[in-house]
Amino acid sequence: MTAATSPYDRDLDRNPANYVPLTPLGFIERTAAVYPKRTAVIHGARRYTWAETYARCRRLASALAARGIGRGDTVAVMLANTPEMYECHFGVPMTGAVLNTLNTRLDADAIAFMLNHGEAKVLITDREFSPTIEKALAKAKSRPFVVDVDDPEYRGEGRRLGDIEYEAFLASGDPQYAWRWPEDEWDAIALNYTSGTTGDPKGVVYHHRGAYLNAICNIVTWGMPQHSVYLWTLPMFHCNGWCFPWTMAANAGTNVCLRKVEARAIFDAIRAYRVTHYCGAPIVHTTLINAPEELKRGIAHKVHAMVAAAAPPAAMIEGMERMGFDLTHVYGLTEVYGPATVCAKHEEWAALDISERARLNGRQGVRYLMEEGLAVMDPETMTPVPADGETMGEIMFRGNITMKGYLKNPAATQKAFAGGWFHSGDLAVVHPDGYVKIKDRSKDIIISGGENISSIEVEDVLYRHPAVLAAAVVAKPDPKWGETPCAYVELKPGASATEEEIIAFCREHLAHFKAPRAVVFGELPKTSTGKIQKFILRQRAKSASAIDT
């Protein structure tokens, strides 16, 4: 009997009673109905319940629909972590449109490219970013309808550029707007652009199905109790805040907004609102670890932190544990909706010493529950590497929390999905217990005298130096060895160290050929999410080498 003639298929078809496309928009509808009076959003003096937030999202959708916005249209937003940004994650897709969250630290040329490439019909923008947006709009092929956000928490000099202010725009909408469920869960819900360090940014397209699944997976993976209190240290523009805007609606929790990521503001919010969860890049957690002790006092409840990076330094993991924060390490990329692996902890690890726990927790781990495939393979043969902790291959993903593809870029999409897997570009090994550990980005491996040097391995040692706040290691061209490691180091406030001291420290903990041959001190270039921009440092190292020769 073939599958086509199975009795379990005969006369048992999909219908509206037994099949509904998945979408995270249903989360806010349910939570507003079940917990209408619970606090949904806190921002300065502003407070909104779930019923109020849902009504504001419907007003936004209604106002957008009245301007002709519908299925497949793009609505771009240039916003900080404010209630307006949260509302856009629901109000925009409620019309069938696609939400394009713009990186607030990009320059006007990059923003203009995104507005043009995504064909944004509406732009919702915070006054703070008016200098950049004004220049970007001047370069736009077709000026979108502009809505200005006047956040009372913003005290700067930015000005309005648009056709209407956000609250007035909302007032024109219907709080009972009958938004429609997507007809197909494969419909696009969001557009996120990659960094574009080697050319124009690529537009990563998310679908409703993936957003739904990863939003729920965040709760399951993190073991989040219902009504958690989540602090927005992670930018909502970054992979749609790793899907946490939708997660918090499903969780019926409270979103505590934060315009600017600063140690004092974070600790104050944790105390004032009893924040239970927050996310961020390693630099966010390192900032808290190195904050003055008086800022940390008075936090008696358990705080859960999530860190995502190719390799969070072991020293940072140890520091978070000593501070009493429970840290969960995840890893992913824009193309997989943010986090797609987790270093799942085991009870027996608690009996190990702190350095060993940090080593185990520093791995990228295993696949997210809602990601169907994770493998480390030879990209040429597409065969898995042995689980020996030594043989390197490329991390690859497949499953429902993988992007639809790159907007208007079929060649890049085809390349990314070659062999039926998404190619991450990250090089890793698989340990005997099946846990994945990143060794480097393929472009960051340093080949010195024919030997491969993992920049991450060297960085991990640098972070253990008591004077080092942040570090990055890149290849510096060398006439004899081809390449040698060059360390860029940012020192802690008030700390001091010499190049010779840093090199000697590394040689104590590494094979000598892996130790940096040069150390450059100064503030490291970082993205808006706190990631160190190695491509800038590679350019500096190359330029310095040219000068030396």
- 475-487 pLDDT, tens digit per residue, is 888 877 778 999 9
- What pLDDT sits at residue 312? 61
Is residue 333 over pLDDT 70? yes
Is it the case that residue 126 has pLDDT exceeding 80?
yes
pLDDT exceeds cutoff 70 at 528: no
User: In a 3-state reduction of DSSP, which class is residue 32?
Assistant: helix
Tens digits of residue pLDDT in 11-53: 888 999 999 999 999 999 999 999 999 999 999 999 999 999 9
Whether the pLDDT of residue 309 is over 60: the answer is yes
Q: Which residues contact 185 (CB under 8 A, 6 or more apart)?
A: 21, 22, 23, 207, 208, 209, 212
Give the angle subtended at the CA of 403 by the CAs of 400 and 404, to the nearest 5°: 95
Q: Distance between CA 532 and CA 524 in Å, rounded?
A: 7
**Residue pLDDT, tens place only, 90-113:** 999 999 999 999 998 888 988 999
188-219 as b/e: b if 16+ CB within 10 A: bbbbbbbbeeeeebbbbbbbbbbbbbbbbbbb
Q: What percent of the chain has pLDDT over 70?
A: 95
Which of 10-14, 279-283, 421-425 is predicted most confidently?
421-425
Q: What angle do CA 330, 335, 341 make, to 5 degrees?
A: 20
Q: What pLDDT is attached to residue 7?
A: 87
User: What does DSSP assign to residue 408?
Assistant: T
Report the pLDDT value the prediction gives residue 4, as an integer from 0 to 100.
59
- What's the pLDDT at 197? 47
Mean pLDDT across the chain: 91
Least confident interval from 74-78, 159-163, 209-213: 159-163
Cα(398)–Cα(341) distance, rounded to whole angstroms? 12
Rounded-to-integer distance, Cα 417 and Cα 399, Å: 12
Residues 6+ apart with CB under 8 A from 36: 49, 50, 51
